[in-house]
Amino acid sequence: MKKVCVLFLLSACFILLWACKDNAVKPPVVEVENVISGDIEIYGEYVGMIRASRKVEVHARVEGFLRKMVFEEGKKVGINEPLFYINDDLYKAKVEKAKAQLKKEEAQAVKAKRDVERLRPLYAQNAVSQLDLDNAEAALNAAEANVLMSKADLLQADLELSYTIVRSPLSGYISERYVDVGTLVGNAKSTLLAMVIKSDTVLVDFKLTSLDYLRSQRRNVHLGELDTSRSWQPTVTITLPDNSIYKEKGIVDFAAPLVDPQTGTFGVRAEISNKDQILLPGQFTRVKLLLDVMEDVVVVPRKSLMIERGGAFIFVVRPDSVAEKRFVETGPEQDNKVVISRGLARSEKVVVEGYHKLVHGQNVIPGNSTNTHNE
């Protein structure tokens, strides 16, 4: 009985040792992905402020009592659309007076012309003196000048009369009125009546650091200049207050030519469509600016990259299922993808899971990858 027990125990130990030996030599299973090649977009994020593309103050150009207002506050108005009416009785009287004065001066000019035409034949016959003819011609010149002055006075009177109808200087949305009907406007204070804001297109102002500017210049990206030689332009994306992304993208159309010495930043402006009036002038927003597009570059998932004192490295699985520790030179990172500028070929596979206990030259069992083709 003791022999049987000893043999049983020896057999169990042998089986256990064999299993441990089998587990010790079995290669680890790792998750691998193909190296990806494609375009990587480089963005910068900033705080911006929305402002109207145009904002024009509406002032009274002549003095008078405000008679009526013919618009709805906050609504859209068209260019040259009447907004306010100023009492025009005084200006109508000025027009009539200017017309009468013009008729008087024209009559004087007709008479002076006839005098000259009558005296010239008489002067040729020595019937009148040179002085008489000179006086007649001088009177004609003065009369014609008076006609021109009266025409200018009439034009001015007509303009002042037209200014009693205050019209919209552009198409846009009008603010609330700043005066009430019956107010004396157009006096020395140059009364502000309202403002018209064109916000179908808005401008987004934001600041870039001088370092961003230097980097863009090194990439030959000149903000504010349209470059048709490349397939992309520096566009901006707006984040709305509810953290949703505004559907329209803007184009950078201006960059300040100098850096603010106090902040070390320079101003950039983008223009963006706002047909649905979703963006309100004066509000702050987050701006995402496309700074560069790196075309056809090699990228790997961020989770496959490890850092040590020697630099950044990844594990590459060779075709013979051997893991190779590879030091690489990295570039920009975007959306959890890192550009590998040196040290990795497009046809290789990288370990993305299970690499923490790997050593260089170790055999591995590649698992199913989630990425099986190049982009």
Nearest residue to 250 (alpha-carbon basis) of 279, 229, 209, 228: 279
3-state DSSP percent of the chain in helix, strand and coil, to 5: 30, 40, 35
Query: Is 240 in a helix, a strand, or coil?
Result: coil
**Domains of the chain with CATH codes:** 27-40+296-366 (2.40.420.20), 43-51+198-295 (2.40.30.170), 88-163 (1.10.287.470)
Buried b / exposed e over 83-109, threshold 16 CB at 10 Å, is bbbbbbeebeebbeebeebbeebbebb
Residue 317 is inside which H or E element, if any?
strand 311-317
Residue 130 corresponds to which tokens in the numbers above? Answer: 């040179």
* Predicted local confidence at residue 266, as pLDDT: 84
Q: What is the pTM of this model?
A: 0.65
* Predicted local confidence at residue 190, as pLDDT: 66
* CA–CA gap between residue 89 and residue 63 (Å, rounded): 12
* Predicted local confidence at residue 372, as pLDDT: 44
Tens-digit pLDDT string for the chain (375 aa): 445 454 555 555 555 555 454 455 688 888 888 888 888 888 888 999 999 999 999 999 999 999 999 999 999 999 999 999 999 999 999 999 999 999 999 999 999 999 999 999 998 998 889 999 999 999 999 999 999 999 999 999 999 999 999 999 999 999 999 999 999 998 766 678 999 999 889 999 999 887 777 777 666 666 766 666 666 778 899 999 889 999 999 988 888 878 888 888 888 899 999 988 899 899 999 999 888 788 888 888 888 888 887 788 888 888 888 888 888 888 888 778 888 888 888 888 888 888 777 888 888 888 865 544 444
335 half-sphere exposure, CB direction, 13 A CA radius: 6
Which one-letter amino acid corresponds to residue 99? Answer: K
The β-bridge partners of 48 are 206, 285
